[in-house]
Amino acid sequence: MADYIFKEFGVRALREFYQKIEKVETDLIEFPEIGKIEPLLKHRKKVYRSIVITKKNKLVYTVDKDYICVHALWDTRREPKSQAGKLK
């Protein structure tokens, strides 16, 4: 993804994207359950949550006792069911 952002939009856009990721990371460390429960994955055993990074991307993750596991970075412009089906 970083390669795509850099090639298509340049170093400034890539830097801004990473700053947004870092902000979300900081928020998740402090408040792991800040993301909403992902509706397309609510039938699964694990509780998948998502948090918007930009208008075009959201981070899908789970919270375990001592860690946060990032499962995917979804492109919000794509078919959500297709992306949900790729998570195991």
Q: What is the pLDDT of residues 48-75, one digit of tens each?
A: 999 999 888 899 999 998 899 999 988 8
Contact 57, 74 (CB under 8 A): yes
pLDDT at 32 (0 to 100): 95
Q: What is the pLDDT of residues 75-84, one digit of tens each?
A: 888 877 787 8
Cα angle 9, 84, 30; round to 5 = 70
pLDDT at 41 (0 to 100): 94
Q: What is the pLDDT of residues 2-37, one digit of tens each?
A: 787 888 788 998 899 899 999 999 999 999 999 999
Residues 76, 74: Cα–Cα separation, whole Å: 6
In order of their start, the domains of the chain are 2-85 (3.30.2310.20)
CB atoms within 10 A of CB 58: 22
Q: What is the number of alpha carbons within 13 Å of residue 60 lying toward its C-beta?
A: 21
Output the pTM of the full model.
0.84
